[in-house]
Amino acid sequence: MQVTHTSIGGVLLLTPTPHRDERGFFSRTFDAAIAREAGIDPDAFCQDSLSRSRKGVVRALHLRGGAGEAKLVRCSSGAIFDVAVDLRPQSPTYGRWESFELDGDHQRSVYIPAGCAHGFQALTEPADTSYRIDREHDPADSIAIAYDDPWLAIPWPLPVTVRSPADAAAPTLAELGLQPDRRVAP
């Protein structure tokens, strides 16, 4: 498994090497030793979740308040346009976002550290997205940010088909008081 550092400090792309043959493929999607070498505490994860999304669905940019939440995200089937936004106030890349195409064929994962928002758009019908999270879910700490925040100007690749009512009502960074006073280019 190869670990690649991205333009946002702490956001890592983990690329496995699937074994392919006439049956299909076999791929290791997580390796505790490699995670440790990359600075990820594999023992911190306490919850695995799975979402299934229809093509065009956007799951808005989500962030956890309080102590934050780190997550390891992978598209196990189908494909997604995955986005991480650095909202850590002391980070030199505060306000920067980066996108990744994750899909079931390559089984790449993105590690998103606490303090970064995460969202994605399903590129296929369906797209299954797996999350490995380092905190138990507490709805009181959940923060959603508008997927179409004009300050971020994320170029979602497809027309948006469906959003949850909470995501549809999500405020912008400016409305949350989180809009950085400086722009860091993606």
Q: Read off the tokens for 77.
A: 């089937």
* 44-76 confidence digits (pLDDT tens): 999 999 999 999 999 989 999 888 899 999 999
Question: Residue 160 is encoded by which pair of tokens?
Answer: 């948006």
User: Which residue of the set 94, 131, 137, 147 is catalytic?
Assistant: 131
Which run of H or E residues covers position 37? helix 32-37
Q: What structural domains and CATH numbers belong to the chain?
A: 2-176 (2.60.120.10)
94 is catalytic: no
Record the pTM. Answer: 0.92
Q: Can you tell me whether residue 167 is helix, strand or coil?
A: helix
Tell me, yes or no, if 111 is annotated catalytic.
Answer: no
Dihedral of alpha carbons 30, 32, 35, 40, sign: positive
pLDDT tens-digit map of 1-41: 999 999 999 999 999 998 999 999 999 999 999 999 999 99
Considering 5, 19, 62, 118, which one is annotated as catalytic?
62
